[in-house]
Structure 1
Amino acid sequence: MTTFDDREKAFENKFQHDEDLLFRIRMRRDKLAGLWAAGLMGLGGAEAEAYARQIVEVDIGTPGPHDIRDRLAADLHARGVDISDHRVEREMGHLLELARQQVNAE
């Protein structure tokens, strides 16, 4: 292999690693957001875990940057929780940082 080929392979490996890391962080954030919302809706235990799994699946199955925020806000409003979309988005930002710390600590 030439030096160029080595550099190209290294770049591809780094790109793949970074994408995998971002995916894991997003999935962790989604789970944490699902558990947070479940708590606000009065769900606990197995119900909360099942709801968090649904939220993770929504992010995987629905394209777009606001799919999780919209789903969480809709579910919270349907359960009578008075919360703004901005507050949900702000909490998701906080949970993204928490998820990043947790994944990087693994």
Structure 2
Amino acid sequence: MSGFDDREKAQENKSAHDAELLFKATARRNRMLGEWVADEFLGLTGDARAEFAKEVVAADFDRPGDSDVVEFVMAKVSAAGGELSEARLRHKMNELLVVATAQISAQS
């Protein structure tokens, strides 16, 4: 029974670690996404660029999944008169998640 308990505890620890890694990587991805959008579509620099990136990170806490971030970014780009397709945005989000995950993993 002890061996089973040990395996169960190890699986719980791995699941918690994986969830923490995903949370950190997603937050980092959203920050990088905000920086990319600020550069490419909004023309923001300096503090305004950093503040926008923080807003993108905060937008992810509205509801589960990426739809809140997508809606926030699409609305901001549209309000600024820019054009960005949802497909391109989601593709960039996927690219940046890979980068963010690698960065977080390298730090561990």
Counterparts of residues 58-97 of structure 1 (less than 5 Å): 58-97=59-98
Partner Cα distance (2:6, 2:21) in 1 = 22
Partner Cα distance (1:52, 1:96) in 2 = 15
- Give 1:88 deviation, angstroms: 1.1
> Where does residue 52 of structure 1 map in the other structure?
53
- Runs of 4+ in structure 1 deviating by more than 6 angstroms, as ranges, are none
SS in 1 for 2:60: helix
Letter in 1 for 2:60: D
Aligned length: 106
Letter in 2 for 1:51: F
Partner Cα distance (2:6, 2:63) in 1 = 37
Unaligned runs of 5+ in 1: none
Per-residue deviation, residues 21-79 of structure 1 (Å, max 9, x unmatched):
01111001010011111112011111111111111111123333311112111110110
Q: Which moved more, 1:54-63 or 1:41-50?
A: 54-63
Letter in 2 for 1:77: S
Partner Cα distance (2:78, 2:16) in 1 = 38
Letter in 2 for 1:33: L
**What RMSD, in angstroms, separates the aligned Cα atoms of the two structures?**
1.3
> Where does residue 102 of structure 2 map in the other structure?
101
> Where does residue 30 of structure 2 map in the other structure?
30
Partner Cα distance (2:102, 2:6) in 1 = 31
Q: TM-score, normalised by structure 2?
A: 0.90
Q: TM-score, normalised by structure 1?
A: 0.92
